[in-house]
Amino acid sequence: MIELTFPDGNQKKVDPPITGFQIAETISSDFSRNCVAMIVNNQLMDLSSVVEDNASIRFITQKDPEALEIMRHSAAHVMAQAIMHLYPGAKLTIGPTVEDGFYYDIDMDPVSNADFQKIEDEMKKIIKAKIPFQRKVMSKSDALNFFKSESYKIELIEDLTDGTISLYEQGDFTDLCRGPHVPHTGFVKSFKLLKVSGAYWRADQKNAQLQRIYGTAFFDKQELKSYLHFLEEAKKRNHRKIGTALDLYSFHDEAPGMAFFHPKGMILWNTLLDYWRYEHRKAGYVETKTPIMLNRSLWERSGHWENYRDNMYTSTIDEVEYAIKPMNCPGGMLLFGMKPHSYRELPLRSAEIGLVHRHEMSGVLSGLFRVRSFHQDDAHIFMTEEQICDEILGVLHLVEKIYSTFDLSFHLELSTRPEKSIGTDEQWENTTQGLKDALEQYGKPYRINEGDGAFYGPKIDIHIMDALKRTWQCGTIQLDMSLPERFDLTYIDSTNERKRPIMIHRVIYGSIERFLGILVEHYAGKFPLWLSPVQVVLMSLNDELIPFTQNIQQQLEDNNIRTEMDVRSENLKKKVRDAQLNQIPLIVTLGHKEKENNTVSVRTLDGHVAYGISLDHFIETVCQHVQGRKQDMNLF
């Protein structure tokens, strides 16, 4: 007999050997049918695995968060099997799960969305057959022989360390896989293939281009339906589509991965930066600017030449090698090192809106979200060890202030020392504790990512959530023990001793281009009044009123209210509709009655209409609303 211990502390004695499924059946048949996998002595395993010794055991049911990833991994295998049935000449590579779904990279002739239906139909046959997933283990040499006709699998196996190799068999299909999987294909219930894109084998342009087919799967049909609805909403909010419709920015083949901002896009851009500068001045930051191009010796000193060279754009000038900066940090180090510093000057908060360039592969470029040229709202805070907690706390409060202005919530993650790192144990202990102390004082929950810090220091990552509940990692707060050392940065302490400052790297917007793209999708182009490139459009009811309309426009512009006139000969209904499509927050109509009384009639985007508003009251209300950077449109 062996003794099994369950999460609630209950124990059960059973006769070995016994499979996980058989153990689950001793609880109840209904329970066993709902189980997906199990964790035995902290090891994730298939239900078909045999338990032979005393163990702690936890079953993963369809309601547990781990279950969905396991099932989606199995769905990737089902898709691969279906594709091999339909395209026998295809060669499989890897098929992992990703957030919200799975994909498989396959060397095959190009496929399109039009091919998805027949692939899904074949998948349904496999699912209906409830084919068991059977784990097989063999030696590396036997695995190489088994996959001798599959070059990609051979390459993967050769990269593995010596020992046993696991495979999973489902009927006529076998794949190299670590597992675990659901008991049989029937567990893959509600699924949908979503898109196909190109991907290079092992992300290397020198290798073959593969077909990457994406899909998703859920245990519940309603969850799949809700997710597909979410995708439709996300399509409507696509920042590239909205940016074109609102004339904000564009992309051109002459500069791949580099956005062109139009006049209205520049208004939005400058409004974001004006707000950023306003909050940073209040928080005690000074603003600096460093060159875009610096010579090789600086990048060698900072470590980027050794570790980041492939992503940098370079040029030779006067027989000296230069690089366009991929980060702002080294320039900031030079500025701090320009003169001696006293502890009385610290903390020194120095910020820069720096233009950086990073070479990204063309296949991953994506609108404003993945670019080659972008601006970072970097800041470097130089401080003493004792100031770590207060400075981190100050950044967190600044983050909260700025994100809340855009109606963005966020959560926090603390990443600790990785296996490969620089600095002493004491330095890591002190800096990590400083971040923890600040997070504890801040009072919001946070998650710890053990070993996920940068090699030069621990960090806090800030993940914002938009209107569609999508999360984006924008802000980060990193403690750096490397660059102050590399650049020999010092300050004089209270005992007249030379000390090394502790430094924070931090961004809030992150990439300003990316943050702007997030805002476009967050608001679906319907920006709050203070952000909107055009805040008011004026419409006169006939040509006789154009001089009056021009006079109103001048008064609004004099009060820094961004205004356009629509004096086209179109009827009012069409002009109002066009203004709504252009997401202009306030639509003002002007007739003879308004001229006589010096009033305006106002329509908001949500359809609310107010008549007879005095011009002075209108201007005062709009100005107060803009200055308060309010989200709502309940002005009148």
Return the C-alpha torsion angle 65, 66, 68, 70, nearest 10: 180
Second CATH level (architecture) for the domain 2-61: Roll (3.10)
Q: Tell me what pLDDT residue 224 has.
A: 96
333 contact partners, CB below 8 Å, separation of at least 6? 302, 380, 483, 484, 486, 487, 489
587: which strand partners? 537, 603
Q: 258-276 b/e with 16+ CB inside 10 Å = b?
A: ebebbebbebbbebbeebb
Q: Tell me what pLDDT residue 359 has.
A: 92
Q: How far apart are CA 614 and CA 598, in angstroms?
A: 6
Q: How far apart are CA 492 and CA 340, in angstroms?
A: 8
| Mean pLDDT in order along the chain per 10 residues (636 residues) | 92 92 93 95 94 95 94 97 96 93 96 96 97 95 93 93 89 94 95 94 90 96 94 92 96 94 97 97 97 94 86 93 94 94 96 94 86 95 92 95 95 91 82 89 92 86 92 91 90 95 94 96 95 96 91 96 92 93 95 92 90 94 95 82
Written out in words, the top-level CATH class of the domain with range 249-290+326-523 is: alpha beta
Q: How far apart are CA 391 and CA 438, in angstroms?
A: 8
Please write down the HEC assignment for all residues of 473-488. Answer: EEEEEEEECCHHHHCC
The structure tokens 């499924």 sit at: 21
Q: Tell me what pLDDT residue 265 has.
A: 97
CA 380 to chain centre: 23
Q: In sequence order, what DSSP letters do the residues of 400-465 get, joined into one string? A: HHHHHHTT-EEEEEEE---SS--S-HHHHHHHHHHHHHHHHHHT--EEEETT-SBTTB-EEEEEEE
Q: Tell me what pLDDT residue 365 has.
A: 85
Q: Tell me what pLDDT residue 419 has.
A: 85
Domain spans in the chain, listed from the N-terminal domain onward: 2-61, 69-221, 249-290+326-523, 293-324, 536-627
Q: Which residues are catalytic?
A: 329, 358, 376, 378, 380, 459, 505
Q: How far apart are CA 363 and CA 101, in angstroms?
A: 20
Q: Tell me what pLDDT residue 385 has.
A: 87
CATH superfamily of domain region 69-221: Threonyl-trna Synthetase; Chain A, domain 2 (3.30.980.10)
CA 182 to chain centre: 29
63 and 220 in contact (C-beta within 8 Å)?
no
Q: How far apart are CA 464 and CA 473, in angstroms?
A: 6
The structure tokens 């993967």 sit at: 156
Left, alpha or beta for 428 (phi > 0: left; psi -120 to 50: alpha)? alpha
Q: Tell me what pLDDT residue 481 has.
A: 79
The structure tokens 């009927």 sit at: 171
Q: What is the identity of the amino acid at 236?
A: K
Cα Rg for the chain, rounded, in angstroms?
Answer: 30
Q: Tell me what pLDDT residue 189 has.
A: 87
Q: Tell me what pLDDT residue 424 has.
A: 82
Q: Tell whether domain 536-627 is in CATH 3.20.20.140.
A: no
Q: Tell me what pLDDT residue 145 has.
A: 94
Q: Tell me what pLDDT residue 273 has.
A: 97
Sign of CA dihedral 238, 239, 243, 244: negative
229 contact partners, CB below 8 Å, separation of at least 6? none
Q: How far apart are CA 531 and CA 355, in angstroms?
A: 22
Q: Tell me what pLDDT residue 518 has.
A: 95
Q: How many CA atoms lie within 13 A of 420 on its CB side?
A: 0
